[in-house]
Amino acid sequence: MSEQFDAVIVGAGPAGLMAAKIAGENGLKVALLERKESITSIQRSCATMFAIEDESYFGERMYFNEEQKRLVFPVTGFSIPYEGPYRNFYTWNVYTSDGKHSIKLGDYDVNQAKGSKGRLSVTYSKQALLKGLLSDAEANGVNVFTGTNVVGLKRDSGLNTVITAEGRKFSGTFTIAADGINSRLMKLLDLNKERIFYGTLQGAGYYMTGVVPEYPEAINFPQLFHKPSGYPVMIWVEPSPYGEDEYWVYSGGPTYPDLNYKDELDRCIQDSPFSGWFKNAEIIREHGHVANIWSPSPMPFKDNVLITGDAGWTVEAECTGSMMSGLKAAHAISEAMRNNKPNKEGVQNYISWWKKHFPGSMDYREFLTVLSGGLVGEDAVTYLHKLVDEILPCSLNPYNLFNNMNAAIMKKMPQIQKERPDIIAKMQAMGGMPVEEQMKDIIKSGFPN
């Protein structure tokens, strides 16, 4: 016998928890299914910057109100309490692999002197965020089932039934797919067939104490390269809100058979121009991530399943985008039930919202060029980055982050033409290729779900 609900939500990350909280508040009978035993223990890497405070993202202008301790989404029209710790950060510094130069996105001293008014954003605790959402959902009667791994989906007589690896069944008028970047539901619904696959990203991360980067309240971003493959290895060193010298340190990039990101992270810490930052550092916890890169889902609905958050976006929707779509999906279901239209027409508001705010608001191919840019190789990247000697404006929007750097490099074209025509030829060859061609080796070594 399956248990029956108005909404069965699969996945209790930011998208699923927000959907559950709203659906519960709206009076729906809700089941929230999560395969982990503990919803608030975080194993997947997340830098937990409040993304994005400095400009619009997904058509929203979100920010953290530290006086009232609320995360505010004024365009979508909601805010949620956030009681955990937070820490301002002020710039993003992109280091060449020899550690001799960094491109400064934002002026650290000027921004830091302004305090909260000069910050790029805050880092915060994802654990505290999830805890708050979970306790609101539970207070509103949501039935939470942890240790519940969804492996199947059936549709029969107007009801969806999800089936778990543990042999349980949960039926609902609507299902919300909030099962993250490697979504099982997207696969079961065959929705990935409508998307283009661009490869698999992998990474390893440490939570560390005793780290002393050059700029403590900044995103420090050494750009290393894997020696055998030449692939770019991105390293992020980001301040944690829990302690002055506590940092999240990640390494990540495309899948390549001989590339182990934990080894690359250890190389950065132990034997690189950046090792000085880690002289007295200690690893407290380890994280990891594997993320398939798909073009966004053009349609966030099939067979009464609504797609939210990372499940339908290109790489990460960020916690903010995931919460927004979870909230919108839950409201749409509530409206559909009240209007006695438990079907696609009933949730049309959500479909229109998704199309406008997700695939319609950003061209995912711009993000892919961020990934493919490093493929020109270590020598070319180091040379080009060293040409940028002015302080550039910063953005946390990954779609715009590298535009300012590219624009500064473009200004140096006459000098590059004179000194390194070989690099211009390389850039022109890459620039003339469709992004699928630029990324063909990454696509080949990825593993689509």
Least distance between ligand FAD and beta carbon 287 (Å): 8
Indicate whether 35 belongs to the interface with ligand FAD (CB under 6 A).
yes
Candidate residues 26, 40, 48, 88; the one interacting with ligand FAD per rule CB under 6 A: 48
Residue 87 phi, psi dihedral angles, 5° rounding: -150, 130
Candidate residues 7, 9, 32, 46; the one interacting with ligand FAD per rule CB under 6 A: 46
Indicate whether 233 belongs to the interface with ligand FAD (CB under 6 A).
no
Candidate residues 127, 149, 349, 397; the one interacting with ligand FAD per rule CB under 6 A: 149
Candidate residues 104, 195, 226, 289; the one interacting with ligand FAD per rule CB under 6 A: 289
Least distance between ligand FAD and beta carbon 127 (Å): 12
Candidate residues 106, 203, 232, 300; the one interacting with ligand FAD per rule CB under 6 A: 203
Torsion angle in degrees (nearest 10) through CA of 219, 225, 226, 230:
140
Bridge partner list, 8: 31, 175
Indicate whether 82 belongs to the interface with ligand FAD (CB under 6 A).
no
Residue 86 phi, psi dihedral angles, 5° rounding: -150, 165
Query: How many residues would you count in the chain?
Result: 449
Indicate whether 217 belongs to the interface with ligand FAD (CB under 6 A).
no
Q: Which residue is associated with the tokens 């283009």? A: 196
Candidate residues 5, 9, 11, 264; the one interacting with ligand FAD per rule CB under 6 A: 11
Bridge partner list, 221: 94
Build a one-symbol-per-residue string for 383-422: x at contacts with ligand FAD by CB under 6 A, - elsewhere: ----------------------------------------
Least distance between ligand FAD and beta carbon 28 (Å): 19
Alpha carbons 410 and 258: distance in angstroms, whole number: 34
- What are the Cα distances from residue 296, in Å, to 50, 195, 198, 262, 357? 22, 7, 11, 29, 11
How many Cα atoms occupy the beta-carbon half-sphere of 336 within 13 Å? 25
Q: Is 293 in a helix, a strand, or coil?
A: strand
Indicate whether 51 belongs to the interface with ligand FAD (CB under 6 A).
yes
Within a 10 A sphere around the Cβ of 435, how many other Cβ atoms?
18
Angle at the Cα of 215 (from 211 to 218), degrees rounded to 5? 95
Alpha carbons 215 and 194: distance in angstroms, whole number: 43
Least distance between ligand FAD and beta carbon 206 (Å): 12
Candidate residues 7, 8, 9, 10; the one interacting with ligand FAD per rule CB under 6 A: 10
Query: For 304-386, where are the E strands, in sequence order?
Result: 305-307
Candidate residues 40, 45, 175, 192; the one interacting with ligand FAD per rule CB under 6 A: 45
Smaller CB distance to ligand FAD: residue 239 or 373? Answer: 239
Specify whether the CB–CB gap between 193 and 24 falls below 8 A: no
Indicate whether 87 belongs to the interface with ligand FAD (CB under 6 A).
no
Alpha carbons 388 and 398: distance in angstroms, whole number: 19
Nearest to 10 by CA among 38, 30, 26, 40: 30
The count of chain residues that interact with ligand FAD, using the rule CB under 6 A, is 38
How many Cα atoms occupy the beta-carbon half-sphere of 169 within 13 Å? 10
Specify whether the CB–CB gap between 97 and 382 falls below 8 A: yes
Q: Is 193 in a helix, a strand, or coil?
A: helix
Candidate residues 129, 317, 370, 401; the one interacting with ligand FAD per rule CB under 6 A: 317
Indicate whether 320 belongs to the interface with ligand FAD (CB under 6 A).
yes
Least distance between ligand FAD and beta carbon 150 (Å): 4
Indicate whether 261 belongs to the interface with ligand FAD (CB under 6 A).
no
Alpha carbons 182 and 316: distance in angstroms, whole number: 11
Smaller CB distance to ligand FAD: residue 181 or 329? Answer: 181
Indicate whether 186 belongs to the interface with ligand FAD (CB under 6 A).
no
Contacts of 140 (CB under 8 A, 6+ apart): 21, 24, 25
Least distance between ligand FAD and beta carbon 217 (Å): 15
Least distance between ligand FAD and beta carbon 197 (Å): 18
Single out the segment in contact with ligand FAD by CB under 6 A; choices: 9-17, 70-78, 208-216, 425-433. 9-17
Indicate whether 253 belongs to the interface with ligand FAD (CB under 6 A).
no
Within 154-183, which residues bind ligand FAD (CB under 6 A)?
178-181
What is the edge-to-edge ordering of all strands in the sheet holding 92-95? 102-105, 92-95, 219-225, 232-239, 247-254, 197-209, 282-294
Single out the segment in contact with ligand FAD by CB under 6 A; choices: 7-15, 91-99, 212-220, 257-265. 7-15
Single out the segment in contact with ligand FAD by CB under 6 A; choices: 103-111, 143-151, 168-176, 386-394. 143-151
Alpha carbons 278 and 157: distance in angstroms, whole number: 60
Specify whether the CB–CB gap between 15 and 126 falls below 8 A: no
Smaller CB distance to ligand FAD: residue 308 or 438? Answer: 308
Smaller CB distance to ligand FAD: residue 82 or 383? Answer: 82
Footprint of ligand FAD (CB under 6 A): 10-16, 33-36, 45-49, 51, 148-150, 178-181, 184, 203, 250, 252, 289, 291, 309-310, 316-320, 322
